[in-house]
Amino acid sequence: MQWKHWALITLVVSGMTGCGEAPKDLPTVPIHPVKGTVTLDGKPIAGARVSLQAVQGAKPGDINPNAVTDESGAFQLSTYAPLDGAPEGAYSVTVSWPVVINASGSDPEYGKERLPLRYQVPDKSGLVITVSEELQDTVLLELTSK
């Protein structure tokens, strides 16, 4: 089941970032920059995938803002274009951090998930971000291995 979840995430992320530009017919809403940091047991993690899902539930056509953490665990969300931010609203946050088996080529291979399963399930992760014009601080997602 995990590989199917990862395949879906990879498909969504690659579809959103593949060309570097959003399709011209895609409806857009105002977005706000969102920066954050992900830690596991107090230490930053690199290469983790952060994804937001609307708290009110998924609707057809929803686009989930997403990001990948850098070496310091920092991320900046993307929705329509790289690093542009996220639409206003409340979001459940999921984080996934699989072992990269093979990073060569355009389709990396992923192995075992390093985070507890709850962090990949929106209503169980316990992570929520409310995006608004007033959100100026860096969001800190503090994960635990227990």
Non-local CB neighbours of 82 within 8 Å, separated by 6+ positions: 17, 20
Looking at residue 107, its pLDDT comes to 81
Q: Kindly state the average pLDDT of the residues 5-24.
A: 50
Looking at residue 18, its pLDDT comes to 47
Residue bearing the bigger pLDDT, 29 or 10 = 29
Looking at residue 63, its pLDDT comes to 80
Q: Distance of alpha carbon 5 from its chain centroid, rounded?
A: 13
Distances (CA, A) of 56 to 18, 49, 95: 28, 22, 19
Looking at residue 133, its pLDDT comes to 87
Distance CA 125, CA 118 (A): 5
Q: pTM, whole model, 2 decimals?
A: 0.77
Q: Which three-class secondary structure string do you get for 51-104?
A: EEEECCCCCCCCCCCEEECCCCCEEECECCCCCCCEECEEEEEEEECEEEEECC
Distance CA 70, CA 138 (A): 15
DSSP state of 138: P
Spans of all domains in the chain = 2-12+31-141
pLDDT in tens, 123-145: 899 999 999 988 888 899 999 99
Q: Report whether pLDDT(3) > 80.
A: no
pLDDT in tens, 43-99: 999 999 999 999 887 677 778 999 999 999 999 999 989 999 999 999 999 999 999
Q: How many CB atoms lie within 10 A of CB 3?
A: 12
Looking at residue 100, its pLDDT comes to 84
pLDDT in tens, 16-26: 444 455 556 65
CATH number listed for the domain at residues 2-12+31-141: 2.60.40
Q: Computed over its alpha carbons, how large is the radius of gyration of the chain? A: 15
Q: Kindly state the average pLDDT of the residues 113-126.
A: 94
Phi, psi (deg, nearest 5) at residue 127: -110, 125
